[in-house]
Amino acid sequence: MQPVYANTDLVPFRLTPNMQKFLGPIFTEGILVPGLMAMGRALTEPEVSIPTLFYAFLTLLPVRA
């Protein structure tokens, strides 16, 4: 199955020391890397269509009156 957004270009990502200090060690060493990996895998190896993912995301957002 071909990924929805097939792109072989490298995308630079730089986690600067200032960003690391702002995010803190629990975030940068705990949930940041697995979260980025999960998002990347969801976009490159989709089990459902992207519109279905967007619908699920948008329906879970809180509505402000």
Q: What is the pLDDT of residues 15-41, one digit of tens each?
A: 788 888 888 887 877 887 788 888 888
Residues spanned by the domain of 13: 1-65
Q: Provide the mean pLDDT of the chain.
A: 77
pLDDT digits (tens, 9 = 90+) for 50-62: 788 778 777 776 6
Asked whether the whole model's pTM tops 0.85, one would answer no
Structural domain total, the chain: 1
Quick check: 26 and 35 in contact, CB under 8 A? no
Query: Which residues contact residue 5 at a Cβ distance below 8 angstroms, ignoring those fewer than 6 apart?
Result: 43, 44
